Amino acid sequence: MTKKTMPVKKEVNGLNGNSNLWSYGFQDLNIFSPASLPASLPASFLASLPAPIPNAPYFDLRIYREPMIKSLIKVHSKDMYRLLEEVHFDGNYYRVKCVSSGEWEYCWDLAVRIQFFGKMLGMTLYPKRLVSQKEKRIVYRSMILVNPYQLWDEALVNKFWNLQERVEFLIARILFHECIHVMISLGNILPSGFGNTDIYLEFRKMLEVSVSENLSHELHNVQFRLWNLVLFGYSGSESEKKLLERVQEIYEFLINEKYTNQKTGKAFRFPSNNKKIARKYSWIAAVKAGGDKQVSKRVWQVEVRRLRIALRELFEGIDTELSNIGFTMK
């Protein structure tokens, strides 16, 4: 069942409005455009954006065709196409999935917004959890922000001279990346079996291989570096259990990003190698760990470099193990 969602009813009596940034997306140099941001973004993110450039030209993104973008995505994932089929890219929430388990109904609402907003190509905010005791319904709300600012990237220009086609290809590629994060989240949050798409199952296989006995050395090396970085960002109030949970959360985030970048690169023929992924996401992982509260910035940076090396070795090991068992992405 797919329909545009209605405003939250008054009987909703449980709300966790603290959306988290799951995907930091593809980070690159900024070319800012003065389009306004949705009010739901965290204040800390808004504060980090650069100031508008005076008299900067405004590019109207409305030249893209939603059906064309969706058809580009459908070629590579029918599950993702079904997720997006009735979602319009207007920033409004649409109901994309509902399943029943026992007395409760679990629903997923998705919003997609396309606009220039800073130096990230894409970002996923999720999930805001709405609970209605009266209706026995739990609704998870996700928003995907797509920022196709790399329209004049040399490789894209050479591939698509037509601006409309270039915009549509770039939006489809970014949206594909961010939807992978949403689909993995669906699989993790919905009752067992209800979120099992090909994408989710592929990711779980990669995660399973990453903690296999054959990769125990590489795994422990990455976890050791993550533990050090979590201690460097320790605020003094967390228990050891909470710190270990953070290490596991960041570890799964890193495997998630490896899978997402690899899957998107294969689908759109813009491959991202393990060295590049490790370099980009080792820094993000270090920031997620808490920063350098307990040590000097130099010590923190050294540990980030060590994590990058360990992460690349793990990623290479994962590829080797998957190849050995004959696993290939669809």
- Which residues, other chains included, contact 186 with Cβ-Cβ below 8 Å and sequence gap of 6+? 97, 108, 195, 197, 200
The mean pLDDT of the chain is 84
What are 149's two structure tokens?
């600012």
Per residue in 103-154, pLDDT tens? 999 999 999 999 988 878 899 986 789 999 999 999 999 999 999 988 888 8
- Dist. CA 273–CA 262, nearest whole Å: 8
- Dist. CA 305–CA 284, nearest whole Å: 12
Global pTM exceeds 0.85: no
Listed residue (19, 18, 11) closest to 137, CA to CA = 11
pLDDT score of 81: 96
DSSP string, 279-321: HHHHHHHHHHTT-SSSS-HHHHHHHHHHHHHHHHHHHHHHHHH
pLDDT score of 30: 31
Q: Which residues of 218-233 are buried (b: 16+ CB within 10 A; e: fewer)?
A: bbebbbebbbbbbbbb
Per residue in 49-94, pLDDT tens? 444 444 444 567 788 999 999 999 999 999 999 999 999 999 999 9
pLDDT score of 59: 65
The partner residues of 97 in beta bridges, in order of sequence, read 108
pLDDT score of 195: 84
pLDDT score of 17: 35
The partner residues of 145 in beta bridges, in order of sequence, read 113, 123
Residue 41 has pLDDT above 60, yes or no: no
Per residue in 253-295, pLDDT tens? 999 999 999 999 999 988 789 999 999 999 999 999 999 999 9
